[in-house]
Amino acid sequence: MVFQRKHILGLEDLTAEEISLILDTAESMKEVSLRDVKKVPALKGVTVVNLFFEPSTRTRSSFEIAEKRLSADVLNFTPTQSSVVKGETLLDTARNLEAMGATVIVIRHSMSGAPWLLARELDSSIINAGDGSHEHPSQALLDLFTVREVKREIQGLKVVIVGDILHSRVARSNIWGFIKLGAEVRLVGPPTMMPQDVEKMDVKVYYNLEETLKGADVVIMLRIQMERQGSGLFPSLREYSRFYGLTRERLKLAKEDVMLMHPGPINRGVELSSEVADDVHSVILDQVSNGISVRMAMLYLVASGGGNA
Amino acid sequence: MSKIIMDSQTVDRAISRISNQILERNKGAAEIVVIGIRTRGIHIAERIVDRIEKLEGIRPPLGTLDITLYRDDFRRKSEWPSVQKTHIPFSVEDKNVILVDDVIYTGRTTRAAIEAIMDYGRPASIQLVALVDRGHRELPIQADYLGIKVMTQKTEEVKVLLKETDGRDEVVVVEG
């Protein structure tokens, strides 16, 4: 199968076959990261711009390493130090970067849909590195990759996503991804943090963590955004932690070989206890390593893919 | 129209002769490693390793190489093969690397393979095995060990069929 897409914007758009092709390609990319010389010439002469309108260390660094391992020329564009503070629009900023020769733009923006706007208006390939509370495809793909690597097959797995589903682009992309590859997805969190019509996505909604964890193969903990304290969504961090924080006792309710995941950065003692974060079941650092291979695959496939949208 | 240029017996004899030539030139099997280029080069490489083991009692390490990430026609936007796995579970440092491909044509695959191997270390030498040389080189690259040389038209296709993938050993030149 040949990858025909020019952009990777969200998991909602991708077919199961396309997702599998990205994961297969990432497996080959992983081998490059295990060598002494961690570089291949595949994207020599391709200019990639990392256009991050939101603070991000992990995702941006991961994309940057991926780009460099493929020999692309990399430009990191940080809006706070730029003309954006002078009032330039997103589209004008991106058009200027394209005029400088960018052929792939990796964008993170607080507005949902921003990557689609660029994909529609520009000639470059666009990769969504997180848009508002909408999608975060590279995170979901690396989660799928990490699970597939251990469990071999996604089909039939019971996947639990815990926390602030409403505001989480990680949750949304993971729901699409795991459902498309045939997993059973269970969501759990406070009712105030559950999207209203989420059942339409073919998921099971729970409000009791213990009940949800029974028989789980994979548990994905979402980060509680500290800035949401006092927003009225939950009374206090302590109370949130009491009902939805993951402890060793609670994790015992899941399958014996359960995989514990978290997109980071983790709040020790809030959404999961410190001992659980460092537990044998935790694959949090594997997720980070795998993120590079998955992003290499995404960059390579959009840059080599057909001109079709 | 198609013409059979090698059958099962000639393929077998060629691999046997090549294995002997490798041992002769490298004074045994101690310092060699064998790397097959995906996909048919791998099977030929396996057979060479088997043969060397029979002759010398030493089985040289065997690796597989996918050169997709080293291609030089990236922006040609033609049919892109998907990236397959490379598996070289040994050091090439100071070894004589026997690089194995089924057909040598423009030389571009070999160039890419040489570049890839160099990323794994500094071998003592890289020596090329090709079952078929069909001419039309675009780079100054030649095989050190050759099964058969055949004059072809660029419009023709050279098909290497192997037991492992196609059920029989046969090399055919097919008119385009």
Residue of chain B with shortest Cα separation from A31: B86
Omega into B39 within 30° of 0, i.e. cis?
yes
The verdict on a CB contact (< 8 Å) between B121 and A36 is yes
Q: What is the average pLDDT value for chain A, to the nearest integer?
A: 93
The answer to whether residue B25 sits within a structural domain is yes
Best A40, A71, A293 residue to mutate vs chain B (most B CBs within 10 Å): A40
Nearest by CB to A31, which of B70, B79, B86? B86
Question: Which residues from chain B sit within 8 angstroms of residue A21, using beta carbons?
Answer: 82
Collect all residues of chain B within an 8 Å Cβ-Cβ radius of residue A42: 68-71, 74
Q: Is B135 part of any domain?
A: yes
Q: Say if the Cβ atoms of A41 and B84 lie within 8 Å.
A: no
Query: Does residue B73 register a pLDDT over 80?
Result: no
The pLDDT, as a whole number, for residue B74 is: 61
**pLDDT confidence band for A306 (50 / 70 / 90):** low
ipTM for the complex? 0.83
| Chain B CB contacts of A304 below 8 Å | 74, 80
Indicate whether A148 pLDDT > 80: yes
Task: Give the integer Cα–Cα distance in Å for B77 and B54.
Answer: 45
Q: What superfamily in CATH does domain A16-135+289-308 come from?
A: Aspartate/ornithine carbamoyltransferase (3.40.50.1370)
* CATH number of the domain within which B44 lies: 3.40.50.2020
For residue B155, give the amino acid letter: T
Tens of pLDDT, residue by residue over B77-121, are 555 668 888 999 999 999 999 999 999 999 999 999 999 999 999
Q: Region A187-208: what's the mean pLDDT?
A: 94
pLDDT, position B103: 97
Q: Do B119 and A40 touch (CB under 8 A)?
A: yes
Q: Give me the pLDDT at residue A232, please.
A: 83
- pLDDT digit string (tens) for A169-179? 999 999 999 99
Chain A residue numbers touching B71 (CB-CB < 8 A): 42
Number of domains in chain B: 1
Of B70, B75, B82, the CB nearest to A40: B70
Task: Report whether pLDDT(A126) > 90.
Answer: yes
Chain A positions contacting chain B at CB under 8 Å are: 1-3, 21, 24-25, 27-29, 31-32, 35-37, 39-45, 70, 297, 300, 303-307
**Structural domain of B55:** 2-72+82-174
CA–CA gap between residue A296 and residue A161 (Å, rounded): 26
| Closest CB to B80 among A41, A304, A307 | A304
Query: What is the overall mean pLDDT for chain B?
Result: 94
Contact between chains at B120 and A37 (C-beta distance less than 8 A): yes
Contact A32 B115 (CB under 8 A): no
User: CA of B69 to nearest chain A CA: how many angstroms apart?
Assistant: 5
The answer to whether residue B76 scores a pLDDT higher than 70 is no
Q: What is the pLDDT of residues A33-57, one digit of tens each?
A: 999 889 999 999 999 999 999 888 8
Distance (Å) from the alpha carbon of A29 to chain B's nearest alpha carbon: 8
For testing contact with chain A, the best of B38, B65, B66, B69 (most A CBs within 10 A): B69
Rounded to whole angstroms, how far apart are CA atoms A126 and A106?
6
Residue B77 forms part of a structural domain: no
Residues from chain A that touch B115, judged by Cβ atoms under 8 A, are 41
Torsion of CA A107, A110, A116, A121, to 10 degrees: -70
Domain assignment present for B133: yes
How do the domains of chain A map onto residue ranges? 16-135+289-308, 137-288
Would you say residue A3 has pLDDT above 90?
no
Residues constituting chain B? 176
Domains A16-135+289-308 and A137-288 fall in the same CATH topology = yes
Separation between Cα atoms, residue A36 and residue B120, nearest integer Å:
7
Residue A308 pLDDT grade (very low, low, confident, very high; cuts 50, 70, 90): very low
Q: Quick one: average pLDDT of B142-161?
A: 96
Per CB-CB distance under 8 Å, the chain B contacts of A39 are: 119
For residue A252, give every residue at least 6 positions away whose Cβ sits within 8 Å of its Cβ, in sequence order, or none: none
Is the pLDDT at A229 greater than 90? The verdict is no
Nearest of A294, A305, A303 to residue A22 by alpha carbon: A294
What's the average model confidence in pLDDT over A216-223?
A: 97
Of the candidates A25, A44, A305, which has its C-beta nearest B83's C-beta?
A25
- Does residue B122 lie within any of the structural domains? yes
Q: If you classify domain A137-288 with CATH, what class do you get?
A: alpha beta
Higher pLDDT, A67 or A86: A67
| DSSP per-residue codes, chain B | -EEEEE-HHHHHHHHHHHHHHHHHHTTSSTTEEEEEETTHHHHHHHHHHHHHHHHHS----EEEE--GGG-S-GGG--PPPPP---B--S--TT-EEEEEEEEESSSHHHHHHHHHHHTT---SEEEEEEEEE----SSS---SEEEEE----TTSEEEEE-HHHHSS-EEEEE--
> Which residues of B fall within a CB distance of 8 Å from A22?
none
Cα Rg, chain B, nearest whole Å = 16
At A307 the pLDDT is 47
A28 with B66: CB under 8 angstroms?
yes
| A37: nearest CA partner in chain B | B119
* pLDDT (tens digit per residue) in A196-206: 989 889 999 99
Which of A94, A54, A104 lies closest to A74 in space, CA to CA? Answer: A104
Query: Is the pLDDT score of B53 beyond 90?
Result: yes
pLDDT tens track for A233-275? 888 889 999 999 999 999 999 999 999 999 999 999 999 999 9
